[in-house]
Structure 1
Amino acid sequence: MTSNRGFTTDIVHSDRAFGSDDGSVHKAVHTATQYGFEKVEDLIGVFQGTKKGAYVYSRQGTPTTAALEAKLTAMESGVGTVCFATGMAAISAIFLTLLRAGDHLVASRAVFGNTNSLFGSLEDLGVGVTRVDATEAENVAAAITPKTRMVFVETLANPGTQIADLEAIGQLCKVRGVLFVVDNTILSPYLFRPGGIGAGLVVHSLTKSICGHGNALGGAVIDTGAFDWTDYPNINAAYRKGDVRQWGLTQVRKKGLRDMGATLSSQHAHAIAVGAETLALRMSYTSASALEIARYLEAHPAIAKVYYPGLPSHPQHAQASKLFRAAGWLLSFELKNPGDCLAFHDRLQLAVKATGLGDTRTLVIPVAHTIFWEAGPAVRAEMGIADGMVRLSVGLEEVSDLIADLRQALG
């Protein structure tokens, strides 16, 4: 891709730019699991790391997944990408391949429920985890110890839409020599690129914003080139060769794909790549709709509070306005009468009652009763998740229809 062209122009022409089979505008879907070699020396070279750019077994990638990886690298202005079967596989690969027993992780308290559950598994394996309010960088600074290897935040927290103090944390991690990892799933690289504030690794659930059509699972880890791997102690000796910018991703790929097998299929990689072509259009449209809905809800007498960074009432509105192109498709709100929460959902006729995010259809879910039920009331209270909280993932329907549906359900 060329940097002087538009975001969408580069995406829709990326497969042709990198070379495609038989002149096709999309990379072919490669379904083979085996890759043969004319000379056994070339096969040996792949295993020993002296032959680059060859495929040996599809568990570690295919030409189809490689094309998607190249597209994602360009979208985040990075130096490399590794794709996975799901977003949680991508996050797990980062933690399980780059952290060791005795290491310490500082993480935002406001993260996706399954990510929070994964922190518990890391603690069981001997990795210390400190959860902090990352909206203030001083809380992160106070939690860092000599054993801290990594700081992890989301650009926009789900479901409370808290925004970490991104610029300050990025500077802090640079000074302390700590790897800064940012989950950019909800905003996407169109609305924000974490590499610009010092994130060394960016993670995505490709299922959400980037694919955007609710028809494929996927995840990705992207190296922005902002972190110097030479001093990171957990890189295996076997991977400390060649381009130092690739050391971290090489370990993530070898351990996360070869050893753990969390492989993205070529079929899903193709669907994600096609979905990504409309990313800018979808993010612009859904962000505008979400803002209009948020304004409507904030003025409604049945609503106690609305959580959306595009509103001036949001605690991090100034930061969102400075850093993000728009505020995205995710918003949450609290009903004044929590007892009406389930009946309100059942009265909705257009919004789909579902657990997913980032679909073409608007999705709605009662947060405390579902995705954060396992966390328990104490954790929910700590995270600010009220019993009457409703999460809305805004889709591509006309916003007038969505507001009409909300109006009748609230009425």
Structure 2
Amino acid sequence: MGHPPGKNEPGLTTTIVHGDRASGVEHGGLRKPIHTSVQYGFERVEDLIGVFQGTLKGGFNYARQGTPTTAALEAKLTRLEQGAGTICFSTGMAAISAVFLTLLRAGDHLVASKFVFGNTNSLFGTLRRFGVEVTTVDAGSVDAVRAALRPETRMVFVETIANPGTQVPDLEAIGELCRERRLLYVVDNTVTSPALFRPRGVGASLVVHSLTKTIAGHGVALGGSVTDTGLFDWRDCPAIFEAYRGGDPAQWGLLQLRKKGLRDMGAALSAEQAHQIATGAETLALRVRQSSDTALRLAAFLEAHPAVARVHYPWLASHPQHERARRWFQGGSWLLSFELRDAARTVEVLNRLRLPIKATGLGDTRTLVIPVAPTIFWEAGPAVRADMGIADGLVRVSIGLEDAQELIDDFGQALGA
């Protein structure tokens, strides 16, 4: 599971568990400590000025823009995504909001997959009120993305595996299109994570994570991140403020995201949460391997059950983008959904489950289930749900670390004969 390391490249888990030691830890500690200080002082005022102006690398001035603890997590994520740099935020939605609100401006146009997280879809409405036009398309076809482009298009946004329908975009072809048109290509890698996929390989400019989910994995810490892959020429981004256009253009995007998206918006990740996320990430590959294996077994069981109309899981041969998922991903992930033949039974069936927890959220060590239409996509309305293929009887399942056969047996008794 995960991408095989190169000749001199350590494996994914080795990179994570030894990442702190590689950069040096105070007093011989095995992990970076939790730095709770809000202010950071300097012996020379020139260094304080350098931190404010971005000319002094590695310095800290105020915790709203980062701490040594968040910096250690950022370095770890940069290595995992094979990027040029990372910025952490308080939540995944804060990270996505920073990307849109910092790198787009009134009059710009965003093309996005119509199969996206419900809150991201809600954010599109906010962008429209601020004068940013948004067109949503079926990103499973690069032709649909190409047809939506306009002269004022600045960015394309997709998720690797859509929540909850598990649609997979034409990631590689969209990346090539964005490279040709000099567009920012933003890929949300939350569901797959670097254990299954690295978006840099398909030309992504920025990689977004809700760290709360696959990376942290234990349901105890909120966080988000944006990684710059180093593939985009920031001179092609007209939204970059003049104050940040000095020096190396490769740094412009991250500098603006940190100054405008983090400092001005205040969505700082706390040192305590960063430490928990970094610790949870150490078991990333192990968790993803087991949850993906279990998800495939449960998906196959559900697909054969007479009470189930349809199962959505990329590793099933019946999935519309199965071959695409096999080509790019190292596993199917922990996310699956299924539709009951009788939508009226949804509440009854879910109430009969004993092991899965009836809760929102994703990527936990415990299996979570939720009826999609009346909860996370209720606000979107029936028209949007219909356009996204969200049936009234759709159930989303986030697979945890329970024994696979015990989960299968539980779903079997809940569904009935």
Pairwise CA distance, 1:95: 0.3
1:150-184 Cα deviation digits (max 9, x unpaired): 00000000000000110110001111111100000
| Contact 2:54–2:255 (CA under 8 A) maintained in structure 1 | no
d(CA) in 2 for partners of 1:347 and 1:231? Answer: 55
Pairwise CA distance, 1:325: 0.3
1:385 to 387, 390, 406: 390
Pairwise CA distance, 1:52: 2.1
Pairwise CA distance, 1:238: 1.5
d(CA) in 2 for partners of 1:49 and 1:174? Answer: 28
1:237-295 Cα deviation digits (max 9, x unpaired): 21123332221111011001111100000000000000101100111110000000000
d(CA) in 2 for partners of 1:401 and 1:12? Answer: 31
Q: Secondary structure at the match of 1:94?
A: helix
Give the equivalent residue in structure 1 for 2:253: 248
**Which 4+ runs in 1 deviate beyond 6 A?**
none
1:55 to 60, 73, 76: 60
Give the equivalent residue in structure 2 for 1:351: 356
Matched, 1:323 2:324: no
d(CA) in 1 for partners of 2:381 and 2:120? Answer: 15
Paired residue type of 1:70? A
d(CA) in 1 for partners of 2:332 and 2:251? Answer: 32
Give the equivalent residue in structure 2 for 1:297: 302
Give the equivalent residue in structure 2 for 1:145: 150
Give the equivalent residue in structure 2 for 1:9: 14
d(CA) in 2 for partners of 1:250 and 1:41? Answer: 19
Matched, 1:175 2:183: no
Give the equivalent residue in structure 2 for 1:159: 164
Give the equivalent residue in structure 2 for 1:208: 213
d(CA) in 2 for partners of 1:212 and 1:322? Answer: 25
d(CA) in 2 for partners of 1:226 and 1:4? Answer: 21
Pairwise CA distance, 1:43: 1.5
2:192 to 172, 187, 190: 187
Matched, 1:226 2:231: yes
TM-score of the pair, normalised by structure 2:
0.97
Paired residue type of 1:114? N
Pairwise CA distance, 1:49: 2.7
1:18-48 Cα deviation digits (max 9, x unpaired): 1111111110000010111122222122223
Matched, 1:121 2:109: no
Give the equivalent residue in structure 2 for 1:263: 268
Give the equivalent residue in structure 2 for 1:313: 318
Report which stretch shifted further, 43-52 or 346-355: 43-52
d(CA) in 1 for partners of 2:203 and 2:54? Answer: 30
- 1:387-402 equivalent positions in 2, closer than 5 A: 387-402=392-407
Q: Secondary structure at the match of 2:370?
A: strand
Give the equivalent residue in structure 2 for 1:278: 283
d(CA) in 2 for partners of 1:370 and 1:49? Answer: 44
Unaligned runs of 5+ in 2: none
d(CA) in 1 for partners of 2:54 and 2:409? Answer: 59
d(CA) in 1 for partners of 2:401 and 2:52? Answer: 46
Paired residue type of 2:134? V
Q: Secondary structure at the match of 2:38?
A: coil
- 1:12-91 equivalent positions in 2, closer than 5 A: 12-91=17-96
Q: Secondary structure at the match of 1:37?
A: coil
| Contact 2:103–2:237 (CA under 8 A) maintained in structure 1 | no
Q: Secondary structure at the match of 1:390?
A: strand
Paired residue type of 1:87? G
d(CA) in 1 for partners of 2:255 and 2:44? Answer: 25
d(CA) in 1 for partners of 2:69 and 2:94? Answer: 19
Paired residue type of 1:61? G
Matched, 1:237 2:242: yes
| Number of aligned residues | 411
Give the equivalent residue in structure 1 for 2:109: 104
Question: Percent same amino acid at aligned positions?
Answer: 67
Q: Secondary structure at the match of 1:343?
A: helix
Give the equivalent residue in structure 1 for 2:367: 362
Pairwise CA distance, 1:140: 0.2
Pairwise CA distance, 1:149: 0.2
d(CA) in 2 for partners of 1:267 and 1:278? Answer: 18
d(CA) in 1 for partners of 2:328 and 2:50? Answer: 44
Q: Secondary structure at the match of 2:238?
A: coil
d(CA) in 2 for partners of 1:44 and 1:182? Answer: 34
Q: Secondary structure at the match of 1:180?
A: strand
Paired residue type of 2:293? A
1:116-159 Cα deviation digits (max 9, x unpaired): 00000000000000010100000000000010000000000000
1:64-86 Cα deviation digits (max 9, x unpaired): 00000000000000000000000
Give the equivalent residue in structure 1 for 2:343: 338
Paired residue type of 1:242? G
d(CA) in 2 for partners of 1:246 and 1:292? Answer: 45
